[in-house]
Amino acid sequence: MLIGIATITFLLVNAMPGDPVRIMLGPGTDQATIDAVQSRYGLDQPLYERYFNYMAGVAQGDLGNSIHYNGVPVTEKILERLPVTLLLVASSFTLAISMAVPLGAIAARRQNKATDHVSRIIALIGVSTPSFWIGLMLIIVFAYQLNVFPSSGLIMPWAHPSDVPQAANRIEVLGSSLYHLVLPTITLGTLQTAAIMRIQRSSMLEVLNRDYITLAQAYGVSSRTVLRKHALRNAQLPVVTIIGIQLTTALGGAVLTETVFSINGMGTLIITAVESQDYPLIMGVTLFFGVIFVVGVLITDLLYAYLDPRITYGGGDH
Amino acid sequence: MTQDPLLSVQNVTTQFVTEEGIVRAVDDLSFDVHRGETLGLVGESGAGKSVAIRSIMRLISSPGEIVSGTITYKGHVILDRSQGPDGEVRDGEAMLSEAEMRSKIRGREIALIFQDPMESLNPVFTIGSQLREFIEINRDLSNAEAKAEAIELLREVGIPEAESRYHEYPHQFSGGMRQRVLIAMALACKPDLIIADEPTTALDVTVEGQILDLIEQLKTEYETSFIWVTHDMGVVAEICDRVNVMYLGELIEQAPVDELFHETKHPYTEALLRSIPKPHETTGEFDPIRGIMPDGMNAPSGCRFHPRCPDAREVCMSVHPDLREIDDGQNAACLKYDVFDADYDDSPPLVVDENGERVPAETVESVGGDD
Ligand SMILES: Nc1ncnc2c1ncn2[C@@H]1O[C@H](COP(=O)(O)OP(=O)(O)OP(=O)(O)O)[C@@H](O)[C@H]1O
Ligand code: SF4
Ligand SMILES: [Mg+2]
């Protein structure tokens, strides 16, 4: 799987027109310098040789050195940016799941009542509004006009107080971090909230019509227990799948969100990499997105197996 | 039977509001269940049998609503609802609240067994935990006692190795075994009335036989009353004492089981009985009821069975027959009986049109009535 991703990235990137070294050095650089730099990054070798070198490196966790960032190892650059993006994705998912699951479930319970209609309209708006537009609107309203939230930057909750302006201790760092997270989280989280809520509602509706739900009610189980225990767990199966898929779209959304809020995460990193045609960096970041995707699928599968006893890994009934 | 009935259902109407219109799935239904008896509720698919029994348990959820009727059970008023001229429903003072339904009726007094054993158990919980939960809710037992009771019940309904199967999930059980689990659930709270909604239709014939035997045995042991919903007249003959026949939401015949089979009053019941495949006949002679049952939205005028009824006359298109006593203990809703005084005898018979439906003779051109 990962070998496949690495290979495809390698081929795609090398099929791109243009030469990163020329871009970096600028026009009018003499050929000798260009040749020297090219050989430093191994770009003078034939393609197949570069491929094997690259794959061997990948196997050892070495993704090569960035051209744009003057030879800084790609892995180092990624590890520096990754926590920022993960923080953003995690906070937007926390928002999405904590809003969407109860709202979707309640909407299903009150099918065709006012609560249901309102939540469905919100969900529809949520899935059909581009996140960069939401981001820009939030910045205009809350950062420029009301001036309540910052429009750019992100502070890691574990940053050292001395690195954070106006923060004397760890608590204040945490506060500042949350403060900076609000708008980007809403920007990135809206789409996920809406998408998860829709699935949650329809899945819950389907489950609530099943015989085993009526049976539980027929034996005097309270409607609250029926909803929370008997229905929710069954209804979560399709939702878990959507959450897994959303993880990938969230990475795409993160690229836009980071750009809108000038956050130095993986999103802005890949944009820089592409703009400067920094082959090793592009390959490294893409490979990393691939890894995250695979991890997402894996987590989905494990959750699924946990929720649904009919699925067993390793085959056979137990 | 002189004794008060165990369950009394009077004029219950349940409807569904759908995009296409209002469906009266159960229309003015009235019947009694006596102690120790097994009452059959039969009718084709879509007749409203499941809606009827869910109405008894007050388990109708949106878009359905019970709009009127009275249901009493051992002095408890399960339902006392009337619909005002403005269409608004009003509940009587004595009607049990939702909480009382849960704590007094559902499970404890009346238990349900559903049509499809594959669908009736929650796939994500073990058999044991589901059974135990119902026992804990309805009887004051500790967790451990409830577990012991659950295992004992599983054993009683004939599940081998009950102790280890207690920890298994529904998908690890066969259909027949799941149906046994559902019966164990019904027995768990020692109810006086068990309502079984086609509990054996999803099972093959041998397993069905075993389940019916089990029910017979439990009936003598616990003296439980049953409402047995089915469209299988063979099962009716085997286990029922009295039978209610339903057509398009209405009861059209009520009779003790022998009279139903041998002195059938209603033409629809006759058609139902003819549709039983007999073992010595080939399937070619199988006589399904002519025509399809219309849906509840477009219920025919007059007698709802008239488009399919071999005895239909023009009067049947305009007069709606209610259920009346025809013979001692036997009621039917059919205008051909004198008690209706509907001029049936002087009314011209309907003929079959090209769709297989019965219509007045003059509306069919040329050679009416096929075969
Ligand atoms: N959830 C619902 N929404 C709309 N209409 C419904 C709903 N449930 C039942 N109905 C209506 O009630 C009618 C009777 O349904 P019901 O399930 O009671 O039939 P049944 O006699 O139990 O049939 P079967 O033998 O197939 O179980 C249906 O034909 C349908 O028109
Ligand atoms: S009333 Fe008329 S149509 Fe209805 S069952 Fe009797 S004979 Fe048939
Ligand atoms: Mg049914």
pLDDT in tens, chain A (318 residues): 667 777 777 777 777 666 767 777 777 778 888 787 777 777 777 777 777 777 777 777 777 777 778 778 888 888 888 888 888 888 998 999 998 888 888 888 877 778 788 888 888 888 888 888 888 888 888 878 887 787 777 777 777 777 777 777 778 777 777 888 888 888 888 888 888 888 999 999 999 989 899 999 999 898 889 988 899 889 988 888 888 888 878 888 888 888 888 888 888 888 888 888 887 888 888 888 888 888 888 888 888 888 888 876 554 443
Nearest alpha carbon, ligand 1 atom 6: B16
SS3 assignment, position A46: coil
Does the CB atom of residue B45 touch ligand 1 within 6 A?
A: yes
Q: Which atom of ligand 2 is nearest to the CA of B316?
A: 2
Which residue CA neighbors atom 18 of ligand 1 most closely?
B48
Beta bridge partners of B33: B7
Number of domains in chain A: 1
Residue A87 lies in a domain: yes
Q: Tell me, what amino acid is at B57?
A: M
Domain annotation covers residue A14: no
CA distance A230 to chain B (A): 7
Could you tell me what percent of chain B has a pLDDT over 90? Answer: 44
- CA of residue B174 relative to chain centroid, distance: 25
A307 Cα–ligand 3 center, Å? 30
pLDDT at position B277, please? 60
B127-144 average pLDDT score: 90
Closest ligand 1 atom, CA of B246? 21
Q: Is the per-residue pLDDT at B48 higher than 70?
A: yes
If you average pLDDT over residues B167-180, what whole number do you get? Answer: 90
- Chain B residue numbers with beta carbons less than 8 Å from the beta carbon of A211 are 114-116, 119-120
The minimum-distance atom of ligand 2 relative to the CA of B304 is 4
- The reported pLDDT for the residue numbered B291 is 62
Q: What angle do CA A27, A33, A38 make, to 5 degrees?
A: 95
To probe the interface with B, which of A109, A211, A228, A239 has the most B CB atoms within 10 Å?
A: A211
Higher-confidence residue of B244 and A57: namely B244
pLDDT value for B365: 60
Q: Tell whether A19 is covered by a domain.
A: no
Ligand 1 contacts CB of residue B41 (under 6 A): no
Interface test with B, best of A205, A215, A225 (most B CBs within 10 A): A215
Q: Which residue from B minimizes the CA distance to A209?
A: B61
| B128 contacts: CB under 8 Å, gap ≥ 6 | B147, B150, B151, B154, B165, B166, B167, B168
- pLDDT tens column, A190-201: 888 888 888 999
Amino acid A312: pLDDT = 66
Query: What is the C-alpha separation between B55 and B250, in angstroms, rounded?
Result: 14
Sheet with B89-91, strands from edge to edge, namely: B21-33, B7-18, B64-73, B76-83, B89-91
Establish how many alpha carbons lie within 13 A of residue A212's alpha carbon, considering only the half-sphere containing its beta carbon: 26
Residue B286: pLDDT above 50? Answer: no
Q: Which of A111, A211, A310 sits opposite B116 (nearest CB)?
A: A211
B119 to A310: CB separation less than 8 angstroms, yes or no: no
ipTM score of the complex? 0.81
- A219 and chain B: CB distance < 8 Å anywhere? yes
Whose Cα sits closest to atom 24 in ligand 1?
B45
pLDDT at position B194 over 90: yes
Which ligand has the minimum distance to the alpha carbon of residue B302? Answer: 2
Q: Letter for the amino acid at A275?
A: E
Distance between CA A69 and CA B41 in Å, rounded? 81
Ligand lying nearest the CA atom of residue B306: 2
Instruction: State residue B369's pLDDT score.
Output: 45
Residues A139 and A153 sit within 8 Å (Cβ to Cβ): no
pLDDT at B193: 94
Residue A17, by phi and psi: left (phi above 0), alpha (psi -120 to 50) or beta?
beta
**Residue B289 confidence (pLDDT):** 60
Greater confidence (A173 vs B70) lies with: B70
Q: Which residues of B touch A112 (CB under 8 A)?
A: 62-63
In this structure, the residue with its CA closest to atom 26 of ligand 1 is B45
Partner-chain contact B134 A310, CB within 8 Å? no
Domain, as residue range, for A100: 74-307
Strands (E), chain B: 7-18, 21-33, 38-42, 64-73, 76-83, 89-91, 110-113, 193-197, 225-230, 242-247, 250-256, 324-327, 330-332, 351-352, 358-359
Interface contact flag, B120 A112, Cβ < 8 Å: no
In this complex, which of B62, B124, B171 lies closest to A307 when CB atoms are compared?
B124
CA distance, residue A308 to nearest chain B CA (Å): 6
Alpha-carbon distance of A153 to A149, in angstroms, equals 11
pLDDT given for residue B222 in this prediction: 82
Are A212 and B122 a contacting pair at CB < 8 A? yes
Q: Which residue of A has its CA nearest to B103?
A: A220
For residue A316, the model assigns a pLDDT of 41
Strand B330-332, strand B324-327: pairing = antiparallel
B107 and A219: CB-CB below 8 Å?
Answer: yes
CATH number at residue A251: 1.10.3720.10
CA distance B335 to chain A (A): 39
Number of the ligand closest to the Cα of B340: 2
Ligand 2 neighbours by CB, cut-off 6 Å: B 267, 303, 305-306, 309, 311-312, 316, 321, 334-336
Give the residue, B178 or A23, on which the prediction is more confident: B178
**CB-based contact B114 A215, cutoff 8 Å:** yes
User: Is residue A111 less than 8 Å (CB to CB) from chain B?
Assistant: yes
Q: How many CB pairs under 8 A join A and B?
A: 77
Query: Quick one: tokens of A39?
Result: 């050989």
Higher pLDDT, B23 or A10: B23
Task: Encode pLDDT of B288-323 as tens digits.
Answer: 566 666 666 778 889 999 998 999 999 999 999 999
Give the model's pLDDT for residue B299: 82
Q: B169 vs A309: CB contact, 8 Å cut-off?
A: yes
CATH 3.40.50.300, chain B: domain bounds: 1-109+192-290
For chain B, give the mean pLDDT: 86
Residue A235: closest C-alpha in chain B = B124
Rounded distance between C-alpha atoms, residue B181 and residue B178, angstroms: 5
Structure tokens at A27: 């026009």
Q: Is A222 on the interface with B (CB under 8 A)?
A: yes
Does the beta-carbon distance from B102 to A212 stay under 8 Å? Answer: no
Is the residue at A53 inside a domain?
no
Q: What tokens were used for A86?
A: 């993960």
Helices B175-188, B127-138: crossing angle, 10 deg rounding = 20
In a domain, A144, yes or no: yes
Per the CB < 8 A criterion, the answer to whether B327 and B259 are in contact is: yes
Whether B45 and B231 have beta carbons less than 8 Å apart is answered as yes
- The fold adopted by the segment(s) B1-109+192-290 is Rossmann fold (3.40.50)
Residue A196 within any structural domain of the chain: yes
Highest mean pLDDT among B85-94, B120-129, B348-357: B120-129
